Structure 1
Amino acid sequence: MDFLVLLVSTGLVSGAAYGLIAMGFALIYKSTGVVNFAQGELVMLTAYIAYTLSTTFGLSFVPLMLLTIPISMLLGLVLERIFIRPMLGEPIFAIVMVTVGLAVILRGVTIMIWGPDPFNFTAGISTDVVYIGSAPFYPAQLYLIAALAVMTAIGWAFLRYSRMGIAMRAVAANETAALLVGISVSRIHAVAWMFSAAIASVAGVLFAANFKLAPDLWFQGMKSFPAVILGGMDSVIGSAAAGLAIGVIENLFQGYIGQGLREISGFIVIVIVLMVRPYGLFGSKEIERV
């Protein structure tokens, strides 16, 4: 029983990271219809920026995030203006390929500035073990789970009640109709990239605090992709919940079946989901009339 509790608790930690990254994927897809393959690189780059701020100014966690999040939002806006805005009106495939190229550029820039060696990065969080029942946690792990809960609540409230969130949902439902009623689609795209970069910064800092800060952090974007598929490409909240499920599933596969299955278990899940519900568990079913 203790072994099961350990597997589930550690799975929730990695699943919270997947959920945060998946929310960034889903937010951009919901607003633009484009899969941003540079999301993992945004997570990596913003984590390195936070590391530099932390070591330079000696910041604790809360001041660090209060400084990192606005910087990451500005970064998201700049990337959208330079790489995505000129592609408006072009085929979706072309825009997706731009995000692939952007991902490669961000990896190269990160290694060029910070080098290939990993860093220890606590992000100003204590390393004392905390027990919840029989499950041991580091504070950074609890911060990660709490961050997913907070970002999910903010995302739900923003999309449901704010004018910008409602406009974002309108653009996702019908971009042409949104334009006809006066919604600025280009502005919605910019806001989506800014918010996605903010979520990426939270995910990057807390992932690095729990594991390590290294150039291969970008790969967590690909590992989070099963959560996006499981939750639904256009479901921000569903992707967050699916991230937790994927993290627990990975740990259970590793603990009870074999080490090698951890890396592929998430993709096994999405193959099954795609065969049964191609639009994900919480995604919107698209109906085309011909």
Structure 2
Amino acid sequence: MDLFLNLVASGLVIGSIYGIIAIAFAIIFKTTGVLNFAQGEVMMLVAYVSWSLGTELTLPFWALIIVSIGVAALIGVIIERLFIRPMIGQPVFAIVMVTIGLAVMLRSLIVILWGSDAEPFDAAIEGGLIEIGPVVLFSEQLFAIILFFFLSTAVFLFFRFTRIGIAMRATAMDETAALLMGVDVRRISAFAWAIAAIVSGLAGITFAIMFSRAPDLWFQGLRAFPATILGGLDSPLGSGFGGLIIGVIGDLSEGYIGQGLKEISGFVVIIIVLMVRPYGLFGEKELERV
């Protein structure tokens, strides 16, 4: 029983990271209809820039988080303005290809500016070891879980009750109708990219604190992608909880069946789920009237 609980706890930790990144994927897709294949690379860039600023300014952890939110928003807006906005009106496939090219460019940029070695993030969360019954977690791991639930709640409330969130939902439903109602679609697109960069950037910082900052940090975005599909591309909250499911299943399969299954179990799960619900567990079924 102790093994089961510890596997579930470790699955919730990594699943929280996957879930936060999946929320970022879903925010952009829900607002613009674009699947951003550079989300993992944006997350990595935010983590590296935040580390550099934190090191130069010797910021405590909570100050680092506040600065990182501003940095991430700026990075998201710059990427949207330089690479995505000129593609407005082009086929979605063309925009997706731009995000793939952006991903490759950001990976190279990280290596050029910061090198190819893995290094510690050098930012600790006070608390040490935390015992919850038979489960033992580091404070950084507990922070990852708390951050997931905080961001999930914040994103839900943002889309449900704020003017910008409602405008983003309206744009996702019908961009032309939103324009006719006075919604600035370009501004909404910039907001979506900024928010997604903030959310994924916080995930990247948390992961780097728990493990290390390394040029393969972007790979966590690829690992989180099954969570987005599982939860539903048009459901940020569902995508987040899809991350928890993927994380727990991955750790349980590796703990009880065999090593290496963590990497593929998520993709096995989405294949099974998509055969039954092609729009994901929490996604909305699209209906076309003719």
Q: What TM-score results when the alignment is normalised by the length of structure 1?
A: 0.98
Match of 2:44 in 1: 44
- 1:210 aligned partner, one-letter code: M
SS of the residue aligned with 2:28?
A: helix
Q: 2 CA distance for matches of 1:75 and 1:121?
A: 20
For residue 90 of structure 2, give the secondary structure of its aligned residue in structure 1: coil
Per the TM alignment, residue 288 of structure 1 is displaced from its structure 2 partner at its CA by 2.0
Moved more, 35-44 or 128-137: 128-137
- Distance across 2 between alignment mates of 1:108 and 1:260: 28
Match of 1:187 in 2: 187
Name the residue aligned to 2:18. Answer: 18
Confirm whether residue 69 of structure 1 aligns to residue 66 of structure 2: no
Distance 2:56 2:143 in 1: 23
Q: Distance in 2 between matches of 1:58 and 1:145?
A: 26
What is the identity, as a one-letter code, of the residue corresponding to 2:37? Answer: F
Pairwise CA distance, 1:49: 1.0
Alpha-carbon distance, 1:262 to partner: 1.1
**5+ residue gaps in structure 1?**
none
Secondary structure of 1:252's match?
helix
What is the distance in 1 between the residues matched to 2:54 and 2:127? 16
- Could you tell me whether the CA contact under 8 Å between 2:124 and 2:140 is conserved in 1? no
Deviation at 1:127, TM superposition (A): 6.8
What SS does structure 1 have at the residue aligned with 2:279?
coil
**1:208-287 equivalences in 2 (<5 Å):** 208-287=208-287
Aligned-partner SS, 2:260: helix
| Range that drifts further, 204-213 or 85-94 | 204-213
The residue matched to 1:120 in structure 2 has which SS?
Answer: coil
| 1:189-204 matched pairs, under 5 angstroms | 189-204=189-204
Q: Distance in 2 between matches of 1:240 and 1:53?
A: 29
Kindly provide the CA deviation profile for residues 42-87 of structure 1, in whole angstroms up to 9, marking residues without a partner as x: 1111111121122212212110011111011011000000000000
Deviation string for 1:112-166 (max 9, x for gaps)?
0000000111423237211111111110111111111111111011000000000
Structure-2 separation of matches of 1:238 and 1:211? 27
**Structure 1 contact 59–124 (Cα < 8 Å) conserved:** no
User: Which residue does the alignment assign to 1:150?
Assistant: 150
Three-state SS of the structure 1 residue aligned to 2:136 is strand
Matched residue SS, 1:226 = helix
Which deviates more from structure 2 when the two are superposed, residues 120-129 or residues 173-182?
120-129
Residue number in structure 2 paired with 1:170:
170
Query: 1:23·1:237 contact (CA, 8 Å) conserved in 2?
Result: yes
Amino acid at match of 2:111: I
Deviation by residue 1:240-272 (Cα, 9 ceiling, x = unmatched): 111111100000110111112110000001111
Preserved CA contact (<8 Å) 1:15 1:243: yes
Q: Is the 8 A contact 1:60 1:125 kept in 2?
A: no
Q: Which residue of 2 aligns with 1:118?
A: 118
Partner deviation per Cα, 1:10-41 (whole Å, 9 max, x = no partner): 00000000000000000000000000000000
Query: Where does structure 1 differ by over 6 angstroms across 4 or more consecutive aligned residues?
Result: none
- Which amino acid in structure 2 is aligned with residue 30 of structure 1? K
Displacement of 1:194 in angstroms is 0.4
In structure 2, C-alpha distance between the alignment counterparts of 1:201 and 1:217, rounded to whole Å: 11
Tell me the residue number matched to 1:4. 4
Q: What's the RMSD between the two structures over aligned residues?
A: 1.0
**Which range moves more in the overlay, 47-56 or 223-232?**
47-56
What's 1:207 paired with? 207
Aligned equivalents of 1:54, 1:71: Cα separation in 2? 12
Tell me how far 1:169 sits from its aligned partner.
0.5
User: Which residue of the partner structure matches residue 129 of structure 1?
Assistant: 129
Distance 2:75 2:25 in 1: 16
One-letter identity of the residue aligned with 1:179: L
Separation of aligned partners in 2, 1:133 and 1:61: 28
Measure the CA separation in 1 of the matches of 2:207 and 2:266. Answer: 19
Q: 1:103 matched to which residue of 2?
A: 103
| C-alpha separation in 2, matches of 1:188 and 1:57 | 33
Residues of 2 paired with 1:228 and 1:143: CA distance?
Answer: 22
Aligned mates of 1:216, 1:68 — CA distance in 2: 20
